[in-house]
Structure 1
Amino acid sequence: MRTQPMAGDIEERDPGPSPAREGKGLREGSVGLLAAVALGLASVAPAYSIAVTLGFVTVVVGHLAPAALLLGFVPILLTAFAFRELNKEMPDCGTTFVWTTRAFGPWTGWLTGGWVVQAATLIAMAALAQVGAGYLLNVVGLGALAANQFAVTVTALLLLGMVTAVGYRGVQIAASVQYVLLALQLVALLGFGAVALLRHGAATPSFGWLNPFGFGGFGPFAEAVLLCLFIYWGWDALITVNEETKDSDKVPGQAVLISTFVLLGTYLFTAVAAIAYAGTGTTGTGLGNPANASDILATLGPPVLGTALATVMQLAVAVSAVSALLTCVVGSSRTTLSMASHGALPGVFARIHPRHRTPGFGTVFFGVTAGALLVLLSAVSSRFLGDAILSIGLLIACYYGVTALACVWHFRRQLRNSPRDLLLKGVMPLLGGLLMLAAFARSAHDMYSPTYGSTSFHGIGGVFLLGVGSIVLGVPVMLLVRARFRPFFHDGRTTVAELTVSDE
């Protein structure tokens, strides 16, 4: 018996109406535009992302780092339009899972829209918890413990427990907490940039730093842009609360575009200010110094802001990691809620807490699983966890690219309706999807080298094994799930059009 529709079937069969929003039990209309934007920005962890990425980008392309940030934003923006158009048509908290299932069938939907997204999120949660713990220990004056792997791991587990509890209580509480956490990050970054530009000896910013044609070859250009994909990743978490958002067919899409442009402006301002102050030299505080690459803000904070305010900057990075951790918990539990509601996972993931109106089991499940992954990776090697962070880039490019192409395929019959539909539902998502998949291919090629990252196994880079291995592992897991949830894998394109909560 055939378990997946063939191409001809897709033309002949109507998958039915868009997925229903009713019936999951979430608190509808509880999240406004501002809260959605805050969740989207917080999930990117802007202070943390710029701190750990800008240095590596500058090492690769020097003063053209702002240009790389600008070019890296292009596929993100194109993909954001795909998310916006798909959310208008299908405002389901399962987002990529529902959209790719409707477009390409249950196998692609479950693997790339479900498994890959959750694998990337769990790896990110483990990394964010560790980073947040290290910074927090430094901020409170326990620098000696910050160098102790056991102390950092215990603190990280406590942070995971805290954000899981907040997420369990409800997205309204989570959004309220994010206002404070996000405000601290943005004030710290913009304040740092303003002071750096006004410091004596700071260079005058040049438009040449934004020149997209100034790269010395495709290799450095591609590597820098790939690094920049990570710096923008996470804004799509706000879409997972679309069923709890006011005007769920419009507000999440607006929040996506607002949050991505706010990120672009913040990153460009911070990067330009840092280069103007420190330059791109390979010694001292220069941004091209490999010794500074892993944390530019920690290097430049004291000379730019002074010791006291530099501590505030450290706090902002710690807060950045913790706030992103919170949105990961919120977003992941809602994706599995949708998957279970549509019969693709055990029904326990679809259970809603009667008072808090949240997917209680799913929230706790992801908090505990991320903690277990953190302990496992830390036990294997601290360097292994670092490679796990780098591998996230592969997973990002994979599911963003497939989702963008799903937009083109789903709306293919509407592309001739108007120039707007052709541009926003066809051309822009298609370009975004192709750029993302090209980034995936280039990343996989580079990561295969044993010299990429910190670990290798039998001549193959550890980053490649973690990234590609995470995707490949999803195949046997999917086959096991299929044995229990045959209806979804037999007719997934139509089952995601209505709630089919599994009681198994």
Structure 2
Amino acid sequence: MRKTMRPPPARASSHASSAVRAFPRCIGPVGLGAKRPRRRGASVWTTNASFPARGRHLQGARMAVTDRALKRVLSLRDLAVIGSASMAPAYSLAATLGLMVAAAGYDAPLALLMLCVPMTLVAFAFGHLVRAHPSAGSSYAWIRMAFGRGVGSYGAWTLLCANFFATMATAWPAATYTLALLAPERTPSAFVVGLVAMVWIVAASALLYAGARPTAEVSAAMLAAEFAVLGALVVAILLHPSVAPAHAVLRSFHHTGFAGVLGAAVLSIWVVDGWEASAASSEERLGASREPGLAGVTALAVTAVALALFATVALRLGTVDGYAKHSADAMEYVAQQLGGGLWLRVVAATVLVSSAASLFTTMLYLSRSAFAMARDGVLPRRLAHVHPRLGTPDGAILGMLIVTVISTGLAGLSPSVNVALNAIVDASSVFLGALFVLSALACAAVFAPHARGLQRLRTVTLPLLGALWLGAIVVYGVVGADGVQRWIAASGLILGVPFALLRRGAAGVAVAEEAA
């Protein structure tokens, strides 16, 4: 049931309908009428409120609202679009379908569905957390709330690494397909691709600076075009003579066995990642606190089913060896099998649009996360600045722009475009998997002390099951990776320890919301 909020003080900005309060790890209620003095340089505000223990819905109260609140502009549709566009359906298929088929043969769609089960459990865990504790920091904020500032800072490092590499992993394909459309007869160097990728990152940052709503609108148009082309491809493939055996797609483990399916499931993490971007926009929503979680689950379900359907249909067009040989761009192979020509240009344009839309929404996720971390003192507090008119975290947007542009330029020094992109994607997958596991564990830890009966099943047992299932897949992927991939994963995870020790931050802030 929606609970009525008492009006904020007159000095609050007009767009800020949320309120914030200090909380020491969000454990235990704050006494009714308790006052907390504002500390210089810290994101802590005096409040008169009654707050629940962790895991319970927040109660309405009169609070002081600061100018650091983000502008509320996103509807449920906008949140779902952000989650689905961030998953980049066309680009995900282009980058991973060939690798998945090489690993699992005609069982690649089964591997995708196998990964979707624990991912759905994690998505529901996100939904429970964002409904009770909405925060732009999403995973980072919940890990911090559940396990304390030290582990929370490690979660911040993991989230930054995951989305930092994911931003680069979408900017590079956008640059590659841009050059392919403009000069198809040339093979660009990694340096040239890096320069164009930096231009795309600057363009995405400019759109984000204008606001979350313009970003959602542009992403919605791109996503609609993307699904329209994928639908047209499905029809064209079904009308084309089949190459695969009639029973191949329906027969389990016929090609590489269960080990191959597990390997493809690891690759599927990259395919279904992105839905969680809607949770990072929870402080910018227009509706109830349940909407970001509902949008994330909807985006995951709809997009994953569409991807599995397309993969199943596409496998009747080509062979396992054909997809394996074209693992760098499986969508190009599909277009070639349909006759090439116009299909090649349409598919290239679609993957470009998909990469661009994912870049926009991934940078939105990254900037909101950095904003929340800066608000808590984990990152420099200048990154917590909010534009007074637009209501966007312009400090975090500019900071993440500088870091990603410099890193993309350094990646351009790689001797090969494919070498650079593969290293980026591999690193991103490991950090994403670790972040999902930590988030699901945080859900169980937050709700365990108070949940009973069916609520305990939903908020504790199922998230734990999802964490264990997904964690096993991630560990299998790391153990089975080559030396370079293991070195990247281990280095990134180990470097998070000194970061967590040095950047613990101050007592965090929570956004008081209407529970619904």
Could you say which TM-score interval applies, normalised by the shorter chain?
A: 0.7 to 0.9
Please say if 1:138 is aligned against 2:205: no
Shift of 1:422: 2.5
Whole-angstrom CA distance in 2 between matches of 1:197 and 1:90? 46
- Structure 1 residues 135-284: aligned runs within 5 Å: 135-140=177-182, 142-201=183-242, 209=249, 217-280=257-320, 282=321
Which amino acid letter does the alignment assign opposite residue 408 of structure 1?
A
Q: Does 1:394 align with 2:417?
A: no
Q: CA RMSD in A?
A: 2.5
Residue of structure 2 equivalent to 1:369: 403
Question: Take 1:428 and 1:75, find their aligned partners in 2: how far apart are those partners?
Answer: 9
Deviation at 1:498? 6.6
Partner of 1:74: 117
Q: Could you report, residue by residue, the CA deviation over 1:63-83 in whole angstroms, capped at 9, with x for unpaired residues?
A: 111111111111110100100
Is residue 68–residue 212 contact of structure 1 (8 Å, CA) maintained in 2?
A: no
1:440: which partner in 2?
474
Matches within 5 A, 1:263-412: 263-280=303-320, 282=321, 286-287=322-323, 290-304=324-338, 306-382=340-416, 383-412=419-448
TM-score of the aligned structures, taking structure 2 as reference length: 0.83
Contact 1:103/1:409 (8 A) holds in 2: yes
Distance across 1 between alignment mates of 2:326 and 2:164: 27
The count of corresponding residues between Structure 1 and Structure 2 is: 459
Q: Structure 2 matches for 1:410-489, cutoff 5 A?
A: 410-416=446-452, 418-419=453-454, 421-447=455-481, 452=482, 461-482=483-504, 485=505, 488=506
What amino acid is aligned across from residue 319 of structure 2 in structure 1?
Answer: G
User: Alpha-carbon deviation of 1:266?
Assistant: 1.2
1:122 is aligned to 2:158: no
How far is the alpha carbon of 1:29 from its aligned partner? 3.5
2:84–2:275 Cα contact (<8 Å) kept: yes
For the residue of structure 2 that corresponds to 1:43, the secondary structure is helix
1:224-280 CA-partner distances (Å, limit 9, x unpaired): 111111110111011111111122411111111110111122111211111112233
Q: 1:144 to 1:201 in 2, by over 3 A?
A: closer
**TM-superposed deviation, 1:214:** 6.3
One-letter amino acid matched to 2:311: A
Shift of 1:143: 2.5
Decide whether the 8 Å contact of 1:87 with 1:252 is kept in 2.
yes
Match of 1:255, SS state, is: helix
Which SS does the other structure have where 2:386 is aligned?
A: coil
8 Å CA contact retained: 1:31, 1:245: yes
C-alpha contact 2:70 2:393 (8 A) present in aligned 1: no
Q: Distance between the aligned counterparts of 2:474 and 2:136, measured in 1?
A: 26
For 2:128, the aligned partner's letter is E
Q: Is the contact between residue 153 and residue 499 of structure 2 (CA under 8 Å) also seen in structure 1?
A: no
CA contact (8 A) 1:378 1:385 kept: no
Structure 1 spans left out of the alignment, 5+ residues: 1-8, 453-460, 500-504
CA distance in 1, matches of 2:395, 2:154: 22
CA change 1:200–1:498 in 2 (3 A) is: closer
CA distance in 1, matches of 2:292, 2:264: 29
Identity within the alignment, %: 27
> Which has the larger share of helix?
1
Per-residue Cα deviation, 1:393-440 (whole angstroms, up to 9, x for no partner): 211111100110111111113332x32x13321221111111122223
